[in-house]
Amino acid sequence: MTRHQKRLSVPKSWPVERKTGTFTVKAGAGPHGKAGVPLLIVLRDVLGYVDTKKEAKYALNNQSVLVNGDAASDVRRPIGMFDILAFTERDEYYRVFPDEGGRLAISPIDADAASSRLGKIVRKTQVNGGKFQLTLHDGANLVVDDASEYHNKDSIVVDNETKDVIAHFPYEEGALVTAVAGSHAGEIGEVVEITTTMGSGNNSVLVETEDGEFETIEQYVVVIDENFAGDDE
């Protein structure tokens, strides 16, 4: 299996130029699936912190690059939506946020905001001992004693150090959301109406923004809060 990725065929979410060369680095196994952007691309092509793969490996060996509170060790580690990047030697922090066209953008944040990250619940299952496991959009799993208040499509905020849930935002009418895919990716607004489709069709959601309204499928929206949105402006 090749360890390279052709630029012309990279996912739309990757923030890379497609016609500046034939190949780029291929994402390794890990969070975010195929949409995950290799950490090397973020360090070299987006932030410009390194010029080569060798320099990136050196930075990771010094444990000066943290992803969601944990030291990154692989330059191919996938980076995706709502991840928190911390550069301890520079005292700089960033959040990965969906931008227009579905591309991922790197937004600077302060140290306090970098202490936790947002996750969308995509699955809830009961595990041994009567506890419940919450699976998030990036594949991360959290075990909680009582999951009665949590539902699929809700969002939670997870402390990067303790891995505890410190905030919960239900998916419901009136919730503040951002579109993460589709033609309205990057737009932020309030849910006006959720329309349930019978059968196997996708449910739709009507969102009101400062510039009007748009409709999309509910898989394309993630609940956020006002402070979260403000960090990225």
Q: Percent of the chain scored above 70 by pLDDT?
A: 84
Distance CA 134, CA 154 (A): 11
Instruction: Count other C-beta atoms under 10 Å from residue 185's C-beta.
Output: 20
Q: How far is CA 233 from CA 12, 49, 131, 217, 227, in A?
A: 22, 22, 38, 25, 10
Work out the burial of residue 214: count CB atoms within 10 Å of its CB; fewer than 13 is exposed, 13-18 middle, 19 or more buried.
middle
Average pLDDT over residues 222-233: 70
- In this prediction, residue 34 carries a pLDDT of 75
**pLDDT tens readout for residues 8-17:** 344 555 555 4
